[in-house]
Amino acid sequence: MELGWLLWGAAVLLLLPVLMELSPAVNFALRIGFYYLLFFVCSALTAPVCLLVNGGRTVKNMRIIKTVVKTFKYFFGLRFEVKGLENFEVEGPAIIVSNHQSILDMMGLMEVLPDNCVQVGKKELMYAGTVGLIIYLGGVIFINRKSTSSAKMVMAEVAKTMATDNVKVWVYPEGTRNCTGDLLPFKKGAFHVAVQAQVPVIPVVYSSFTTFYNPKKNLFTSGKIKVEVLPPIETKGLTSDDVSELTDRCYRTMRATLFRLSGRPGE
């Protein structure tokens, strides 16, 4: 019996490199599958720690989550080159906005996440198994993208409480993942919240993943991701009439930075 298992194990070990060589699809599936498995298992192991240490749903759990997720990059040969972290050092709350390319963004998010910062996420994530539990414990704000009115209500609540809770709120204004190397048009919710709460908007840009990650081409290799935290954009004195201009200004700045970081000629 043991001999059988031994032979089977040796065969898999010998075959794996061949399989991975032969088929990018296998390589991609193995790496992404391992990423999901890491999320799933680490969430299950970290949730009890969060409950023990912090007792329940609190942004303080993000410190624990961040410590764990920051180790994931080593499994995938990913490196981050970060600039501008000092721009997070604003007095009090702020709205942070960044581009969103893939579920790999969670590593980039945790690489630079400032203290006391929660994220806005689609409510479907609450049901993502153990990951749903851990992000709930971390204080993630869930919105229903399909119902603008309910999403607006949640965001209005955020604008009210972020000052008293002294939390920063991280929003992906594209509203969905987009791995094209460009930016989708920005949703305005993050900017309405910033103006309602009269807090600065801090743009964060991640260079394009297209050189090492493209699900359509089964590409997922190691790579370097440049991250730049841009200077805060003040909203003091702005009103909801200024939101469109604020959104456009932020979009243009982030798009120019994305092209610069990704070595793509600006348009």
**Interacting residues toward ligand UBL by CB under 6 A:** 36-37, 39-40, 100, 103, 105-106, 122, 125, 128-129, 131, 176-177
Site for ligand 3VV in 10-39 (CB under 6 A): 39
- Give the residue, chosen from 94, 143, 202, 258, that forms a contact with ligand 3VV under the rule CB under 6 A: 143
Alpha helices in 183-242 (DSSP H): 189-197
Contact stretch for ligand 3VV (CB under 6 A) within 8-16, 73-81, 113-121, 250-258: 113-121
The token pair that represents 265 in the structure block: 């000629």
Instruction: Decide which of ligand 3VV, ligand UBL, none touches 37; Cβ closer than 5 to 8 Å per partner kind.
Output: ligand UBL
* 141-143 β-sheet, strand order: 78-83, 223-229, 201-206, 95-98, 168-171, 117-122, 141-143
Instruction: Decide which of ligand UBL, ligand 3VV, none touches 151; Cβ closer than 5 to 8 Å per partner kind.
Output: ligand 3VV
Q: How far is CA 104 from CA 7, 118, 223, in A?
A: 36, 18, 12
- Residues in contact with ligand 3VV, shown as a per-residue x/- string from 159 to 198 under the rule CB under 6 A: ------------xxx-xx----------xxxx-xx-----
Q: Are 206 and 181 in contact (CB under 8 A)?
A: no
Query: For the chain, where are the E strands, in sequence order?
Result: 78-83, 95-98, 117-122, 141-143, 168-171, 201-206, 213-214, 219-220, 223-229
Residue 104 binds to ligand 3VV (criterion: CB under 6 A):
no
- Give the residue, chosen from 32, 65, 104, 229, that forms a contact with ligand 3VV under the rule CB under 6 A: 65
**What is the Cα–Cα distance from 119 to 113, expressed in whole angstroms?**
10
Q: Are 169 and 200 in contact (CB under 8 A)?
A: no
Q: Are 222 and 76 in contact (CB under 8 A)?
A: yes
Report the interface residues with ligand 3VV, using CB under 6 A: 39, 42-43, 46, 65, 68-69, 100, 106, 109, 119-122, 125, 131, 134-135, 138, 140, 143, 145, 148, 151-152, 155-156, 171-173, 175-176, 187-190, 192-193, 243-244
